[in-house]
Amino acid sequence: MAKKPKPKSRNNSLWLISLGAVILVGSIWYALHLSKTNSQESIPQLIATLSPELYSGRARAAYQAAKDIPEVLVQLPCYCGCKDGLGHKSNLYCFADEHGSICDLCQTIALEGQEMHRKGMPTSEIREKIRAAYGNAHGD
Instruction: Provide the strand spans (E) within the chain.
Output: none
Cβ neighbours of 68 (radius 10 Å)? 15
Per-residue confidence band for 8, with pLDDT thresholds at 50, 70 and 90: low
Kindly state the percentage of the chain with pLDDT values over 70.
72
Mean pLDDT of 44-55: 90
CA distance 92 to 44: 10
- Give the model's pLDDT for residue 38: 47
